Each structure stands twice: as C-alpha cells, then as structure tokens.
Amino acid sequence: MKNVKFNEKGLIPAILQDSNTKEVLMVAYMNQESLEMTLRSGKATFWSRSRQELWVKGETSGNYQLVEEIRIDCDNDTLLVMVKPLGPACHTGKKSCFYRKLDGQILDNKEDGDSYNYFLEKAVFL
Amino acid sequence: MKNVKFNEKGLIPAILQDSNTKEVLMVAYMNQESLEMTLRSGKATFWSRSRQELWVKGETSGNYQLVEEIRIDCDNDTLLVMVKPLGPACHTGKKSCFYRKLDGQILDNKEDGDSYNYFLEKAVFL
C-alpha cells in the first residue's frame, strides 16, 4: 500500500477484470480513501471525478464488484482489480464498458446478460 | 476516432490485453499522433510521459505488441487494445507489468516464458 503512486490529483487508475472470464470490465479512479475502503469492504470503491465523491460501485444498482485480488504494475501507478461481478459493470447494462470498437461498431458479446442461459443454450444446441 | 476523449494533457490511457490469453499486459498513454500511428502501423505506439516522446513499444527490444482490435469504453476516455505480443510487455522481462499483488507478493505466472513448453508440460504431466 505504501508503494502506491497516486497522481498529482491523488488518484490512481484501477482496471476491473472479471477473475473468471478475464474480460476487462471498466476503468475508474481510486484515491487513498477509496482504496482503503475497497480493501476493508471487499467491494470495488472509487473516487468519482465527475461527482467529486466516494463511489461504492453497485451501491445504487446492486451490481457490486466483489474484489478477489488487487495487483499493481511495475511502476506502481496502475491497479488491476480482479473481481467477481454481481451484475453488469457498465451503466448501460452491458457487462463491460468496452462494448464498442474504436469505429463505433458494437461488439456482439454473447456473454452479456444471463450467462447461465448462454451456457445452457450452448449445451443444448451445439 | 473523432469520439476519442483525450484528457487535459491530450492523452488517453490504453490498456493492452493479450487477445489470446486475455491477460492484461500493461497500461500506457496515447496522444492523437500515437493513436494514428498505431492504426497505421498495427504496432502499439504510445506517448512516453517520462521521456516526452513518441514510443513505439518494442522498437528497442523487438517485443512489438501487434494490434488486433481497439475498443473504447462507454464514456470514450479509455482504450482497450487487444494485441498479439511478440514478446514480454514489461521492461522487467515479465509478460505482464501486473506481476505483483498490492502487498508486493510476486505472482507465480506459469504462462511467463515459453508458453509452448508450459502447455506441453501440462499435456504430459497432468
């Protein structure tokens, strides 16, 4: 924790990755307080740059992102947070915020929505 | 491309993810020029904040990160770059820059080094 290099605004980017599917879900920013809260509660917690307040991801929607492991990169200025998502990470209802290509094309991600149904469907029809 | 939201320094964070293993490899920053170079050359290219210059990843080491797809998040301020790595992304020789937990513990990543040997070993001994 003492090695964490916060930027000039006191923030560090945190990538959320699904520990099971390895899908990258979202990127948000933590300050020291939100990182400490994350460690204490086990729920990914950020500093909202737009609202300028602590932001427990899922507090409103119920889509908490439960933290399984936190990694830090070689120069200590980015976090990789391995999570078990209790619901979509994106406010659009998509599992991941990265659901579009750079040119705007929407990716057809079969794993969105109910993954149980998806695997059931695969098991039955393939 | 016109939707890309660069920050007040003209930069956008770009996450590199191995398109095959889904491992998150590194995070660096692109300005508009380096993003255009990335799109033209197919090699992940950044703006080095420490050296204040364009940085073709792998130019010195040969460990180019070949771009297969670029995704953008819902608020257009982070890129997810799916790559085929020609070598380790980290300057330490590790495949990924995220090889440590927050507490400093080094992760034992069997996929570092020669992944062919790793899969061969699995096939033979498991």
Mean pLDDT of chain A: 90
Contact between chains at A99 and B3 (C-beta distance less than 8 A)? no
Q: Alpha carbon A120 to chain centroid distance?
A: 26
pLDDT for the residue A126: 41
Confidence of residue B108 (pLDDT cuts 50, 70, 90): confident
- What is the DSSP pairing of strand A65-72 with strand B45-48? unpaired
What's the average model confidence in pLDDT over A32-48?
98
Residue A39 three-state SS? helix
pLDDT for the residue B114: 44
Q: How many residues make up chain B in this entry?
A: 126
Asked if B70 has any chain A CB less than 8 Å from its own CB, the reply is yes
Query: In this predicted structure, which of A80-84, B42-46, B78-82, B113-117 has the lowest mean pLDDT?
Result: B113-117
* Interval B8-24: pLDDT, tens: 999 999 999 999 999 99
CB B53 within 8 A of CB B21: no
Count of CB atoms within 10 A of residue B9's CB? 10
- Token pair of B58 as six digits: 């792998």
- Token pair of A103 as six digits: 């040119």
Tell me how close the Cα of B117 comes to any Cα of chain A, in angstroms. Answer: 22
Contact between chains at B74 and A91 (C-beta distance less than 8 A)? yes
Q: Which of A21, A22, A26 sits opposite B73 (nearest CB)?
A: A26
Chain A residues within 8 A of B27 when measuring between CB atoms: 13, 15, 73, 78
pLDDT for the residue B22: 98
* Interval A22-36: pLDDT, tens: 999 999 999 999 999
Q: Measure the CA–CA gap between A74 and A86, rounded to whole angstroms.
A: 29
**Closest to A23 (Cα-Cα) out of A78, A72, A65:** A65
φ/ψ of residue B103, rounded to 5: -80, 5
pLDDT at A118 over 90: no
**Closest to B24 (Cα-Cα) out of B119, B98, B75:** B98
What's the average model confidence in pLDDT over A82-110?
94
* Interval B42-89: pLDDT, tens: 999 999 999 999 999 999 999 999 999 999 999 999 999 999 999 999
Confidence of residue B119 (pLDDT cuts 50, 70, 90): very low
pLDDT at B125 over 90: no
In this predicted model, which residue has the larger pLDDT, B119 or A20? A20
- Token pair of B17 as six digits: 């993810």
Chain B residues within 8 A of A17 when measuring between CB atoms: 24
* Interval A59-76: pLDDT, tens: 999 999 999 999 999 999
Q: Measure the CA–CA gap between B101 and A48, rounded to whole angstroms.
A: 24
Three-state SS sequence of B58-122? CCCCCCCEEEEEEEECCCCCCEEEEEEECCCCCCCCCCCCCCEECCCCECCCCCCCCHHHHHHHH
